[in-house]
Structure 1
């Protein structure tokens, strides 16, 4: 065995040992460890990254990489098994709303990344609905788009930014935040029904998990920095709290999947198997 192979095997064995140790912990211990790990990761990001706006760019980049992996899967494998069209529809909705708000309210690098991700998402939807329709698992993708987006839009009408922009823009902005928070639910539900997660789909959802973590870290660190511009943009009332809550909800929704994703690769299988209680 070559030295590099020995190092690789040692690293892999160590990771497996850590996963087994975590698996043996009680639910309470796992929760404490998760919170402690999150706080430690935030502290490291706070120290290492000087411009915390970069975290939001990183989050959007991770999302784009994830959708690019789906595009690759559809192009190479010619199958959309394991992919939720409902989640793609929700993603398209919140990206379209955010892109429109970006043009109306602000324009920067986030607009470019959102535009690229929106185009890629549109291509995935078109391919699933027409070119690869025969492989789409419609019987498993049962969490309808309207059931997820409807309550989010209703909440946006009630609670939205208290800025000087026109009312419809503020509602659209809030809608994209709330829809994004729950857009992955149909995808997680479909994977739960499948039990076994296809490789590229697993990569995609893991990228979403990373994206949510970086986005959540961005908002938290901005608040810790006492960003007065951010406070001005957010306004007052319950809206700032709901923005942060939406980010935290997204992160926790995907946290379980990311755990099983890392566990599967630590054990060498590369196959993500989800238990009943993931969603």
Structure 2
């Protein structure tokens, strides 16, 4: 009874939000995001820690995938195409790290890429009988081609080689859209089992923390960070890519939280989330 009373206000709020029109929901999402940024700004003194936290949450999400594939012996609900896109942007980012700015994040990206390649191997070969190929029907060239063209047109204006700068921009843009096949697969199935839901929610939290890192850094430097990134449209596109990634996953995270608060183990998605 106590647990039910404790959750009741949250249920009331979520039910009220659900009844609102799309424009009101969008406004409330922006307000909630701004409130979260203000909260993080006051409790996190070194905003670089937000980027580390984002990578840590991403690692937790991958750990959930590893558990699902090794213990559950199924890849049902996972998008192989999203894993392809993830491996592609990680490989591009690793190349840029090695030739442009080798640091600790290079080591972390190497581990993430290795794990992603293992996930691809498991889905394609070991657990292919449980792979939902017919539901995983998002054409990845809808993401890769626009990202490549955009990178060719808008990229950093640093002193690095032009190929490296275009590759850097490509991995930034591709990361923003890499989750789209996974969201499409979940929309096709309408029902998302727990481990897949945990994984995608972890991606959403990681993206928000990464976005918060960039936004707060810009605020703290009073815009000087944008100048350090280069000139032209590139600095704005970096921030836009982070924001787009966050909003792509925001709707799913809302239904995930609603499901968890309601005590549901299986997440059921309404039409039109993707």
Q: Is TM more than 0.5 here?
A: yes
Unaligned runs of 5+ in 1: 1-5
Secondary structure of 1:164's aligned partner: coil
**Alignment partners' CA distance in 1, 2:165 and 2:103:** 19
The aligned residue for residue 186 of structure 2 is 191
Q: Could you tell me which of 140, 158, 163 is aligned with 1:168?
A: 163
Q: Could you tell me which of 244, 252, 259 is aligned with 1:249?
A: 244
Contact 1:196/1:272, CA 8 A, preserved across alignment: yes
**Alignment partners' CA distance in 1, 2:52 and 2:98:** 17
Q: What's the CA shift for 1:229?
A: 7.0
Which residues in structure 2 correspond to 1:5-154 (within 5 Å)? 6-154=1-149
Contact 1:257/1:278, CA 8 A, preserved across alignment: yes
Contact 1:156/1:174, CA 8 A, preserved across alignment: yes
Q: What's the CA shift for 1:270?
A: 2.4
**Alignment partners' CA distance in 1, 2:86 and 2:228:** 24
Q: TM-score scaled by structure 2? A: 0.95
In angstroms, what is the RMSD of aligned CA positions? 1.5
| Deviations, residues 203-251 of structure 1 (Å, cap 9, x unaligned) | 0100010011111111111110127773354100001111111111111
Secondary structure of 2:133's aligned partner: coil
Q: TM-score scaled by structure 1? A: 0.93
**Alignment partners' CA distance in 2, 1:220 and 1:229:** 12
**Alignment partners' CA distance in 2, 1:229 and 1:69:** 38
Contact 2:77/2:132, CA 8 A, preserved across alignment: yes
Unaligned runs of 5+ in 2: none
**Alignment partners' CA distance in 1, 2:169 and 2:23:** 34
| Deviations, residues 130-150 of structure 1 (Å, cap 9, x unaligned) | 101111111111113333212
**Alignment partners' CA distance in 1, 2:47 and 2:103:** 15
Secondary structure of 1:51's aligned partner: coil
Q: Could you tell me which of 217, 223, 237 is aligned with 2:218?
A: 223
The aligned residue for residue 230 of structure 2 is 235
| Deviations, residues 27-74 of structure 1 (Å, cap 9, x unaligned) | 333222211111111111111111111111111211121122111100
The aligned length equals 274
